[in-house]
Amino acid sequence: MIADAGPDTPLHLSFASVRDGGQAVGAGVLVAERLVLTCAHVVNSALGRGRFVQQTPGHDDTVTVRLPHVAAGRDLTARVVREMWVPPRATARGGDPVVPGSLPYHGDLAVLELAADPPAGAAPAPFLLHHYGNDVIALWASGNPLPTVRAVPRVSAPPWIALDVTGGAQVTEGFSGGPLWDRERQAVVGLVAAVHRAPEPAAPGAPPATMYAISVPAIEAELPTLPPSAVPTARRGVQQLLVALERVLQGRQAVLACEERLAARLGRPSAGPAADLERLVGLAVGVRRGIPELLDLVRDHVPYGGDPYGADRYDPHARAGGYAARDDWERLRRAARAVRPGEFLTTRQRRDLSGLLAYCTRTDPRALLEGVLPHAPELPAVTGLADAVDALEGFGSTAGAPVPPLLQGVVRISADERSAGAFYPAEDLDAWVERVAARCGVDDAAVSQFRADLAAAAPTTPPGGATARINGTDEPAAAPRVQVELLPTATGRRFTYQIWAWADRQSHRLALVRDAEAGSEQVVDDIRRVLRTEVREDPETALVEYFLPSAWLGLEVDSWESCDSDEDGPFAPGITRRVVVRTTERSRESYAGWKQRTAALPHAKRLVLDHRHTDRKVARAQLEVHRDAGTVILCCEPHHHGTLLRQCVQAGVHTVLWHRAEHGAQIARDLLAIVEGTDHTQVPEAVRLERAKAMAEPESASHHGRRLSLLYDAPDHRPPQLAPDAWVLTQP
């Protein structure tokens, strides 16, 4: 049975059901004629082993596979490819076993080789990198389209992608190993690995369930010997590429030789004597990174302006022979970028760079993008240097910038490593840039000049000093942060959560995931653990940020503390740390207001919303009239706080101060006094001191520092990469 033509046909032709006897235990996807990619824990389940067993299955261990949309009742026998067995492990390096229930973990990939050719009609799936905001679907292990899950990628947490489940079936056991299918782009963008179990039944307005998938870059890094994956058929630029290749590959023999070599590189069968220019281009555009491979191969065997079969072999550092030949090569590069704008590097070049980036810890990915792309209207959301490099690869050179953004980024990373005394990997990164630049036609003099300009603009402050270089200026070193993405249950008394750490201008790190429901004391205990193990609190005290859906901004997270269980007494972050509340629910409209209020901050006034403004329309009108107000004081009955907080978020207000119990004219004056004359960056510390003063005066039960709360999403705190709204992730 061949699936009917439709938007998911490529998914159906490649979808595999991994089975234990007659029962489906997981899924997989066909990536080559006889190779099925799945999760290692799915294979373990199919073999009746423990989920996280690391031992490689033996040659006699066979797995039953079906291609349900191609041959529904036909069982296929498969064995694990031993060199492509990557069992789950606790850390990025090493082989420590995974503690059951802990997330995230690494590896968890396996490749199965079918004992015979698959049924007629089966075809390997196309793969692309995921896009934030693009809806994706996942099929259950049986392949039946009814239990389909719809989701949206939310944030990268290498090696995984976190996705918000937006509809369809409930995510249960059996989705693991299955492909994430992007319908709009007609490609697989990841492999389902795990799920965050939402409380049952979910309360109205509760956060969506979270599904985790292994990203395409992680798959490529873990399985370097896996044949390059297919990609959706390219349309734009193909005719330009054909014309450009006709001018560079002159003669039939040149085309035949190039097609044979490219097929060998990509692990695809050659057309042999039947090869022609159209087949050569079709081969290149049908495989991930096939276009960079084609350019690299053509340049290897056809020198600039020389005889393709003469003694003048290619020298990567040689200057162009003639102007006509140079023009032909530039035309070829432009056509290649039109066909695959997001691919600049060959598979080997990208793999070598990934290995070096694993040792780089001094560069903040977001700051890197800002430095390389200072005028970009929107920056992509990135988590980690590998993500940032993938993003830069998609940007072409601009006028007056002979060094492509990708190479600029790697030069900057190298400079940061060298400034910290890490000559490895800095020297190897420089060598990588030199080699790639030469092979891609980038003038080495331009790279040297860019490196010199960067060194001349570097700050004189030594590493570890009080300032850091951001966007070409010296700025005070930012305080470290601990960010808690909190998912309350219906009662608001139990929680599941993720805790992220950010310090020393390094990338955000997912430090802890709690999938089992826990109380507020456990949340605070875990925050203390992350502070002790992940954050070096110098030069300032860490900032603790709770990310909450708008409906749960009333939770008194700023007053939570741990049990009095050790000699130091209970840990109360609201007193010893700056604790603020942030929301994950900003929209395009609210972000527009956020930008306007940010621009008005130097002369902005404070706005008080009191009992006169508890009607939503009145509150909204006040916020519209005072569009330059960046700070709002709430002073009304507590049961109106939720409504007014949501109005403030929708209007783009980034600082809201309120007392959770008291209201009235005196409280309004007290709260205004806290923020009056205070720079917005100092507001969290001012609030912390007021809380501490209230605690230090136990005899004064009416001190306004008690039950004081702050929503703080000011300009030095970018709208979070944790936010479910994927559009927010791309904004400064």
Q: Which domain holds residue 653?
A: 585-712
Sequence-distant (≥ 6) Cβ neighbours of residue 356 within 8 angstroms: 425, 428, 429, 432
Q: How many helices (H) and strands (E) does the chain have?
A: 21, 23
650 assigned to some structural domain = yes
Q: Which residue numbers in the chain have pLDDT < 50?
A: 3, 199, 204-205, 304-323, 460-476, 718-732
Residue with tokens 């791309």: 730
Q: Which amino acid type is present at position 623?
A: L
602 and 695 part of one domain: yes
Q: SS3 string of 509-543?
A: EEEEEEEEEECHHHHHHHHHHHHHHHCCCCCCCCE
pLDDT digits (tens, 9 = 90+) for 278-313: 999 999 998 989 999 999 988 877 654 444 333 343
Angstrom distance (rounded) from CA 671 to CA 631: 11
Q: Which residue has the tokens 């190479």?
A: 407
Residue 722 falls within a domain, yes or no? no
CA 708 – CA 690 distance, rounded (Å)? 8
Q: Which of 340, 429, 439 is nearest to 385 (CA)?
A: 429
Do 445 and 384 lie in a common domain?
yes
Residues 382 and 426 in one domain: yes
3-state SS track over 678-696: CCHHHHHHHHHHHHHHHHH
H or E stretch covering 181: strand 179-182
State the burial class of residue 532 (Cβ atoms within 10 Å of its Cβ: 0-12, 13-18, 19+). Answer: exposed
Residue 632 phi/psi, 5-degree rounding, is: -120, 135
Q: Domain check: are 173 and 29 in the same one?
A: yes
SS3 (DSSP) at 450: helix
Predicted local confidence at residue 411, as pLDDT:
95
**Strands (DSSP E) along 461-526, which ranges?**
467-470, 473-476, 481-488, 495-502, 509-518
What pLDDT score does 701 carry? 66
Judge whether 87 lies within some domain.
yes
Q: What is the pLDDT of residue 492?
A: 78
- For the stretch 200-259, pLDDT in tens is 555 544 556 788 899 998 898 899 889 888 888 777 889 999 999 998 888 889 999 999
* 335 and 387 co-located in one domain: no
> CB neighbours (10 Å) of residue 650?
19
CA 511 to chain centre: 15
Q: What is the dihedral of CA 237, 243, 247, 250, to 10 degrees?
A: 110
In angstroms, rounded to a whole number, what is the distance separating the alpha carbons of residues 428 and 417? 11
Q: Are residues 425 and 500 in the same domain?
A: no
**Residue count (the chain):** 732
Asked if 434 and 427 touch (Cβ cutoff 8 Å), the reply is no
Give the integer Cα–Cα distance in Å for 394 and 414.
20
Domain tally for the chain?
A: 5
CATH number at residue 64: 2.40.10.120
**How does DSSP classify residue 729?**
G
Whether 136 and 215 share a structural domain: yes
3-state SS class at 469: strand
Task: Give CA–CA dist 194/485, Å, rounded.
Answer: 18
Three-class secondary structure assignment of 587-621: CHHHHHHHHHHHHCHHHCCEEEEEHHHCCHHHHHH
What's the DSSP call for residue 230? B
Q: How far apart are CA 313 and CA 302, in angstroms?
A: 8
Question: Could you tell me if 363 and 389 lie in one domain?
Answer: yes
78 found inside a domain: yes
Domain assignment present for 490: yes
Residue 724 is assigned to a structural domain of this protein = no
CB 438 within 8 A of CB 447: no
| C-alpha angle 255-258-260 in degrees, rounded to nearest 5 | 110
- Residue 270 belongs to some domain of the structure: yes
Structure-block tokens of residue 510: 């997912």
* Backbone φ, ψ for residue 443 (5° rounding): -65, 130
Task: Specify whether the CB–CB gap between 125 and 180 falls below 8 A.
Answer: no
**C-alpha separations of 448 from 362, 459, 531, 691 in Å:** 22, 19, 41, 54
664 in the same domain as 534: no
Decide which of 222, 255, 286 is a domain's last residue: 222
Closest CA to 103 of 407, 385, 426, 515: 515
Rounded distance between C-alpha atoms, residue 103 and residue 496, angstroms: 12
Q: Please state, as a whole number, how many other Cβ atoms lie within 10 Å of the Cβ of residue 614.
A: 16
* CA 29/CA 51 separation, integer angstroms: 20
Query: What angle do the packed helices 423-439 and 444-456 form, to 10 degrees?
Result: 140
- Same-domain check for residues 268 and 150: no
Peptide bond into 539 cis (omega under 30): yes
Smallest CA-to-CA distance from 262 within 288, 233, 284 is with 284
- Listed residues 222, 243, 266: the one ending a domain: 222
What's at 505, amino acid-wise?
Answer: R
Dihedral angle, C-alpha 471, 472, 476, 478, nearest 10 °: 30
> pLDDT at position 725, please?
35
- Cα–Cα nearest to 385, from 412, 421, 420: 412
| pLDDT at residue 540, as a whole number | 61
In a domain, 16, yes or no: yes
Burial class (CB in 10 A: 0-12, 13-18, 19+), 7: exposed
Rounded-to-integer distance, Cα 215 and Cα 162, Å? 10
User: Do residues 359 and 332 both lie within one domain?
Assistant: no
Domain boundary among 457, 491, 521: 457
Same-domain check for residues 296 and 260:
yes
φ, ψ of residue 403 in degrees (nearest 5): -95, 120
